[in-house]
């Protein structure tokens, strides 16, 4: 395992003023997204959509890496260039989602565990050969109540932490920087304080398992949620309050060797996700705090594009704007739009 090389790639991913574009929706998720925008989902329309995003002129100024899905990493632009080549030429690192979605946890079906460890070393080796420099695995933690007990259970947190650690070790052995993503969902009726408490349990378990598995912490990027009130809670929190609650969790549990954390947007609207990130960066922090947004970067360009070639320039400029706003937020220099 070449820790120095992994560390170098991790540093590039969280470089000042840069963040990650998550464009790794599975076929099912991409289909939902496209159909909601009135675009029929076919292999070709998904390719056209990703081509629009990834060929945005100037994207490399704000975006350090793009997470691709298996279908996309194998696709080419209409002009015949592989997406890996397009990104590499733009100075952007290509990455790949390697989990295979979630399934119900045995004995606690309201909770999820992530699929994809079987055969993972072979898949990682293939992606590395195709030019991927980093990987991503997402674990999902649900807050709520089931059969009279509160979830997440410790068993669910431990299982997801162990699987994330096993994945991270395999990714590092294959020469890929693992993005380690435990996502505490923000769609429940819980308060921000409960989100912070659950996030603390999840991250504590995660770093224990990463260390047990021999993962080089300086060669990973964490991707986790902000501490926010659940969507159904009715509670509102300002960016300063979200930053305070989130940073309290991080200060309690994140190790110093960790280079950076790239937030998921998790259903926040795009301006909110930018403002919250900016608030986190209003003071220097021990880790680089950046973005790895899917919806908060893609919603605006998708709405502008709606599958029409004549809308590509407007859609690309919508993406570039969100990328630039989030770049400013990584530096604590964002001005509310």
Point out the residues that are catalytic: 181, 223
Site membership for ligand 13P, residue 123 (CB under 6 A): no
**What are the contacts of 76-83 at 24+ separation with CB within 8 A?**
77/47, 77/51, 78/47, 78/48, 78/51, 82/131, 83/50, 83/51, 83/54
Which of residues 45 and 102 has its CB atom nearest to ligand 13P in the complex?
Answer: 102
Quick check: 151 binds ligand 13P (CB under 6 A)? no
Report the C-alpha gap between 93 and 67 in whole angstroms: 9
Could you tell me which residues come within 8 angstroms of residue 75 by beta carbon, excluding any fewer than 6 positions away? 43, 47, 50, 82, 83
Count of CB atoms situated within 10 Å of the CB of 282:
14
The 179-208 site mask, x for binding ligand 13P (CB under 6 A), equals --x---------------------------
- Check residue 82 and report its DSSP letter: B
Q: Residue from 293, 323, 326, 330 that binds ligand 13P (CB under 6 A)?
A: 293
Q: Are 91 and 54 in contact (CB under 8 A)?
A: no
CA–CA distances in Å: residue 91 to residues 11, 61, 175, 281: 14, 8, 19, 25
Among 152, 178, 239, 294, binds ligand 13P (CB under 6 A): 294
Q: How far is the CB of 187 from ligand 13P (least distance, A)?
A: 11
Nearest approach in angstroms of CB 136 to ligand 13P is 7
Site for ligand 13P in 26-55 (CB under 6 A): none
We find the least distance from the C-beta atom of residue 39 to ligand 13P, in angstroms, to be: 18
Helix (H) or strand (E) run with residue 280 in it: helix 270-280
Question: Smallest distance from the beta carbon of 268 to ligand 13P, in angstroms?
Answer: 8
How far apart CA 83 and CA 302 sit, in angstroms, is 19
- Interaction between residue 222 and ligand 13P (CB under 6 A): no
The residue range among 10-18, 32-40, 113-121, 263-271 that interacts with ligand 13P, by the rule CB under 6 A, is: 263-271
Residue 22 touches ligand 13P, criterion: CB under 6 A: yes
266 binds ligand 13P (CB under 6 A): yes
Per CB under 6 A, does 322 bind ligand 13P? no
Q: How far apart are CA 302 and CA 294, in angstroms?
A: 11
Which residues contact ligand 13P (rule: CB under 6 A)?
A: 22, 138, 181, 264-266, 293-296
């Amino acid at each position: 395992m070449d820790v120095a090389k992994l560390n170098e790639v991790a540093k590039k991913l969280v470089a000042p003023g840069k963040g990650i574009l998550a464009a790794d929706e599975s076929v099912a998720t991409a289909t939902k997204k496209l159909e909601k925008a009135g675009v029929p989902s076919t292999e070709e329309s998904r390719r056209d959509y990703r081509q629009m995003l990834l060929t945005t002129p100037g994207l490399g100024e704000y975006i350090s890496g793009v997470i691709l899905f298996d279908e996309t990493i194998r696709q080419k632009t209409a002009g015949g260039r592989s997406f890996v080549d397009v990104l590499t030429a733009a100075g952007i690192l290509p990455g790949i989602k390697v989990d295979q979605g979630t399934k119900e946890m045995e004995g606690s079906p309201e909770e999820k565990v992530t699929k994809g460890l079987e055969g993972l070393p072979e898949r990682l080796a293939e992606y590395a050969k195709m030019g991927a420099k980093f990987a991503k695995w997402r674990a999902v933690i649900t807050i709520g109540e089931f059969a009279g007990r509160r979830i997440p259970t410790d068993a669910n947190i431990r299982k997801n932490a162990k699987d994330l650690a096993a994945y991270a070790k395999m990714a590092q052995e294959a020469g890929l920087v693992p993005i380690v993503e435990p996502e505490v969902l923000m769609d429940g009726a819980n308060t921000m304080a409960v989100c912070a408490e659950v996030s603390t349990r999840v991250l504590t378990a995660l770093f224990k398992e990463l260390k047990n598995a021999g993962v080089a912490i300086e060669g990973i990027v964490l991707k986790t949620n902000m501490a926010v009130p659940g969507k159904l809670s009715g509670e509102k929190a300002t960016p300063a309050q979200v930053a305070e609650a989130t940073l309290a969790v991080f200060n309690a549990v994140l190790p110093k060797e960790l280079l950076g954390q790239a937030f998921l947007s998790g259903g926040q609207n795009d301006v909110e996700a930018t403002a919250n990130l900016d608030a986190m960066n209003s003071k220097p922090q021990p880790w680089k705090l950046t973005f790895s947004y899917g919806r908060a970067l893609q919603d605006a360009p998708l709405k502008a594009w709606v599958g029409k070639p004549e809308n590509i320039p407007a859609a690309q400029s919508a993406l570039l704007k969100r990328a630039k706003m989030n770049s400013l937020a990584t530096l604590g220099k964002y001005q509310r739009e």
